[in-house]
Amino acid sequence: MSLSAVKPRIVFVVAAAENGVIGRDGDLPWKLKSDMARFKALTINKPVVMGRKTWASLPKPLVQRTNIVVTRDKAFAAPGAVAVHSIDEAIAAATRDAAERGTNEIAVIGGAEIYRQFMAHVDRIELTRVHAPTEGDAVFPDLPVAAWRETFRESHVAGPGDEAAFTYLTFERVET
């Protein structure tokens, strides 16, 4: 079967505090150099789907990735962004791009509104749990325990450029 006929896996890449907070005032609530490197490794050479507010938080488009930006604004256009106007349109554009790139994964990179609406579609979650008390206004939705199986866990103390200790976790959707 050719790769283009294979439905790509949809993967969340997310960093969340223990209370689920992922963002504050339109930005990340922490600096975690280690997690930036992991984010790059998990998303490079893939289509990345993000909400328009997350796009606005980036200093520039993510290089070596197709930046698919979900917005209701039909006039939205920005260099380096592929604009889409619904979750279905995002999946269609990312599926085409994944086939062109020869990858079988679509990375969904937030923020909270986008994770919530992709919850029914996601196959795997790459979560960085950030061990710092954190307040914020963007929150990752709770995972229904029965629907997800933890398949990887790796704890880290804060390294150079990290404001907190953190744990990398992978969850796979339980097949029903």
Smallest distance, ligand NAP to C-beta of residue 61, A: 15
Q: Please tell me whether residue 160 adopts helix, strand or coil conformation.
A: coil
Nearest in space to 93 (alpha carbons), one of 112, 71, 115, 113: 71
CA distance 127 to 58: 20
Rule CB under 6 A: choose which of 10, 28, 91, 164 binds ligand NAP.
28
The residue (of 68 and 98) whose beta carbon lies closer to ligand NAP is 68
What's the rounded Cα separation, in Å, for the pair 122 and 12? Answer: 7
Least distance (Å) from ligand NAP to the CB of residue 136?
A: 7
CB 176 to ligand NAP: min, Å: 25
Q: Is the Cβ of residue 33 or residue 174 nearer to ligand NAP in the bound state?
A: 33
**Residues between 95 and 124 that touch ligand NAP (CB under 6 A):** 109-114, 117
Assess contact for 79 and 55: CB atoms under 8 A.
no
Q: Does 171 bind ligand NAP (CB under 6 A)?
A: no
By the rule CB under 6 A, 26 interacts with ligand NAP: yes
| Subset of 39-98 contacting ligand NAP (CB under 6 A) | 50-54, 57, 70-73, 85-87
Strand partners, 81: 67
Binding test (CB under 6 A) with ligand NAP, winner from 18, 27, 100, 150: 27
Cβ 93 vs Cβ 83: under 8 Å:
no
**What is the pairing mode between strands 165-173 and 124-131?**
antiparallel
Cα(75)–Cα(90) distance, integer angstroms: 16
Give the footprint of ligand NAP on this chain (CB under 6 A). Answer: 14-15, 22-24, 26-28, 50-54, 57, 70-73, 85-87, 109-114, 117, 138
